[in-house]
């Protein structure tokens, strides 16, 4: 069988099973079984596939995934995140669209503590959206910042998806974790700017708050008590990476210890809460590890069938420069983001894109950040962006799905602008990782 037929068989079967609604991991295992039988000599191939699965999950580089997830669960279920949001809300005053600005600030801070886009969106939606709607904010300005800052969690450490991308693509996980920070902060700043400009031009979309007179201590003490110490957790994680004092796994472990100590010091720790945290961490980690097992074998079958080398030879045969190839990859990822979830995007494209990137000389960390930004945009891209449905589930029943789509559009445009900047100026992503000793 030639490589074109092999590629059509594997990817066609993959798309068919996904369209039938099978879970991602089950879909890839099904394709892998067919691939092992066809390309790896039947029973021998199935035995080899089993060995590949064991090898895939015994990789030490995957250890940060459950640790980062546990770190976020501790902060969420202990209630410390909600106290930090209230402290930020007290500090920000006399700004057009104040509550929307508070949402972006709080969402960015919590993104740096949780690493979970869905948890971030759900928490901000439950705590801040009812307040904004009650104060007369336009529904699109109430929901848009929540979804946009929820997606930022994918870029800022601790990001389990960044570890997933780095592991599957063979990238430096520590450098990839750091590379997303500057683009994420740029997005947050542009979100601020958009909200302020819109609130000034259309004050009916963001009615000014009734002035609340607070003393200096009432404004700053909650921030100093709840936000500054929690920000220290991020400093522990990121600082240990930049200074070369810890590997990603060790920095994730330090983050868990710091989060646990914070919960104890704030008297937010309970044994029932610990049970919930561990259970949620186990569920999410198991799902991700199953996906990694399936994806690793899929990559090997693609390579053994000749599909990978065939695609690489076609791309390099065109003589396209790295920027052109990168733009083509980006377009494919953006289109996929409209229809499939982020993990599926990674699993479908990494086995083909990484060999091509290596062949044409694309910096792997640069490509990794572009992966993360396009996946972040996929969270908000109609018709099947995951955070769109999370927001619809949280929003009042009278808010239609079309309104949720409209809320995401301006923030998607901002993210696209940042993505273009990262493509044109790679140092936006590569500067911070270059500081690692």
3-state secondary structure 197-252: HHHHHCHHHCCCCCCCCCCHHHHHHHHHHHHHHHHHHHHHHHHHHHCCCCCHHHHH
Tokens of 333: 């990822």
SS3 92: coil
- pLDDT value of residue 319: 62
| Between 317 and 90, the higher pLDDT residue | 90
- pLDDT value of residue 165: 85
- pLDDT value of residue 419: 94
Tokens of 256: 């868990």
| Between 202 and 318, the higher pLDDT residue | 202
Comparing CA positions, the residue from 301, 430, 323, 217 lying closest to residue 3 is 301
Give the pLDDT band of residue 346 (cuts 50, 70, 90): confident
- pLDDT value of residue 98: 86
- pLDDT value of residue 367: 92
- pLDDT value of residue 144: 92
CB 198 within 8 A of CB 192: no
- pLDDT value of residue 198: 94
Give the pLDDT band of residue 201 (cuts 50, 70, 90): very high
The H or E element spanning position 16 is helix 3-19
Question: Among 150-164, 323-337, 355-369, which range has the highest average pLDDT?
Answer: 355-369
The H or E element spanning position 163 is helix 160-169
Lowest-confidence segment of 36-45, 145-154, 221-230, 320-329 by average pLDDT: 36-45
Kindly tell me if the per-residue pLDDT of 413 is higher than 90: yes
Kindly tell me if the per-residue pLDDT of 288 is higher than 90: no
Give the pLDDT band of residue 212 (cuts 50, 70, 90): low
Based on DSSP, count helices (H) and strands (E) in the chain, helices before strands. 22, 0
- pLDDT value of residue 340: 65
Give the pLDDT band of residue 373 (cuts 50, 70, 90): very high
Comparing CA positions, the residue from 287, 294, 303 lying closest to residue 29 is 294
CB 347 within 8 A of CB 333: no
Helix-helix angle 43-57:271-305, to 10 degrees: 140
Tell me the average pLDDT across 387-397.
Answer: 81
Cα separation of the two ends of the chain: 48
What percentage of the chain exceeds 90 in pLDDT?
15
What percentage of the chain exceeds 70 in pLDDT?
92
Question: For the whole model, what pTM was predicted?
Answer: 0.78
Comparing CA positions, the residue from 395, 280, 384 lying closest to residue 338 is 384
Tell me the average pLDDT across 306-314.
Answer: 73
Average pLDDT over the chain reads 82
Tell me the average pLDDT across 339-343.
Answer: 68
């Amino acid at each position: 069988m030639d490589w074109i037929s092999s590629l059509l068989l594997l990817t066609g079967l993959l798309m068919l099973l996904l369209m039938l609604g099978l879970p991602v991991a089950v879909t890839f295992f099904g394709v892998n079984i067919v691939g092992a039988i066809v390309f790896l000599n039947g029973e021998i191939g199935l035995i080899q596939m089993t060995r590949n699965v064991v090898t895939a999950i015994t990789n030490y580089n995957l250890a940060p995934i459950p640790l980062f997830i546990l770190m976020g669960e501790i902060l969420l279920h202990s209630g410390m995140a909600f106290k930090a949001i209230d402290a930020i809300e007290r500090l920000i005053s006399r700004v057009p669209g104040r509550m929307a600005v508070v949402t972006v600030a709080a969402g960015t801070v919590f993104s740096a503590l949780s690493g979970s886009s869905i948890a971030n969106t759900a928490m901000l939606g439950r705590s801040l959206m009812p307040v904004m709607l009650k104060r007369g904010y336009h529904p699109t300005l109430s929901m848009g910042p929540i979804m946009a800052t929820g997606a930022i969690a994918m870029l800022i450490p601790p990001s389990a998806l960044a570890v997933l991308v780095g592991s599957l693509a063979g990238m430096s996980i520590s450098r990839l974790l750091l590379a997303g920070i500057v683009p994420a902060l740029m997005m947050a700043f542009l979100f601020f700017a958009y909200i302020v400009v819109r609130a000034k031009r259309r004050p009916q979309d963001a009615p000014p708050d009734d002035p609340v007179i607070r003393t200096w201590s009432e404004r700053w003490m909650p921030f100093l008590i709840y936000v500054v110490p929690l920000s220290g957790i991020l400093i522990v994680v990121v600082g240990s990476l930049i200074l070369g004092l810890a590997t990603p796994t060790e920095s994730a472990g330090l983050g868990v210890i710091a989060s646990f100590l914070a919960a104890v010091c704030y008297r937010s720790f309970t044994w029932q809460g610990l049970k919930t945290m561990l259970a949620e961490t186990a569920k999410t980690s198991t799902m991700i590890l199953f996906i990694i097992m399936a994806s690793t074998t899929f990559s090997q079958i693609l390579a053994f069938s000749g599909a990978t080398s065939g695609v690489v030879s076609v791309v390099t045969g065109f003589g396209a420069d790295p920027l052109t190839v990168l733009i083509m990859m980006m377009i494919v990822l953006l289109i996929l983001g409209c229809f499939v979830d982020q993990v599926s995007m990674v699993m479908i494209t990494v086995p083909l894109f990484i060999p091509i990137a290596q062949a044409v000389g694309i910096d792997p960390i640069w490509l990794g950040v572009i992966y993360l930004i396009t996946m972040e945009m996929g969270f908000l891209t109609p018709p099947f962006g995951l955070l769109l449905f999370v927001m619809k589930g949280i929003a009042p029943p009278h808010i239609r799905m079309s309104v949720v789509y409209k809320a995401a559009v301006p923030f998607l445009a901002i993210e696209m602008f940042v993505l273009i900047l990262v493509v044109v100026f790679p140092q936006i992503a590569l500067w911070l990782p270059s500081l690692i000793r």
